[in-house]
Structure 1
């Protein structure tokens, strides 16, 4: 049994994973989004190069993640998008030894838009 990987451009259709391609064996339902947290969201560095651990107390800080799967009712998020979310509001799931975060589409605060000239987002959150 195989399913499509997100329909057209990762939106609609049967959002899930084509198991023949060696991807994740999961099919998300409704407005669920599965993301892989970015490594640079864990620890931060100050301008002087000092590592600030993720456990340091600060104001509410959002994290970046890459979208790996979307549910059938997701309208604005596509597979491969880089999204901004609150790490406090998350449900972790482990698949094939990797940790992912499962959330609703409405819990995503922003989608990074790439610049035309250099491919960087220019976002400093």
Structure 2
């Protein structure tokens, strides 16, 4: 039997199926330019994806591990509060990309 990866992070829940629990980066809705200028959410135009850090994954998640940076649509999210901190609960299929630090050089990243 393998250890539950969520116990290592101190999460008071066990994620099921293909669920991914992420912590948003930065303040909700605002972002920074490459020069460090804060751009408020009211200035955003069009649909913009957001980066977050995976803090827990369910047993059927195949391409994401805790600690990965993931890209998702912040308009399609379910929020939950644990120990006074806000998190977002996603399905693995709602994640558009994983940051390339962990991706192998010859890997396509596609489900076959």
TM-score, scaled to structure 2? 0.77
SS at match of 2:80: strand
Match of 1:31 in 2: 18
Gaps of 5+ in 1: 7-16, 116-125
Distance 1:50 1:112 in 2: 23
Q: Give the superposed CA RMSD.
A: 2.4
Residues 9 and 55 in structure 2, CA contact (< 8 A), matched pair in contact too: no
Match of 2:74 in 1: 87
Q: Deviations over 1:38-80 (max 9, x none)?
A: 1177422446764321233411100000000001111111111
Partner of residue 62 from structure 1, selected from 45, 49, 58:
49
Distance 1:58 1:38 in 2: 19
Match of 1:4 in 2: 3
- Kindly tell me the number of residue pairs found equivalent between the two proteins: 101
Distance 1:29 1:47 in 2: 37
Residues 41 and 64 in structure 1, CA contact (< 8 A), matched pair in contact too: no
Gaps of 5+ in 2: 103-112
CA shift at 1:86, angstroms?
0.3
Residues 41 and 63 in structure 1, CA contact (< 8 A), matched pair in contact too: no
Match of 2:107 in 1: none
Q: Which runs of 4+ in 1 moved over 3 A?
A: 45-50
TM-score, scaled to structure 1? 0.70
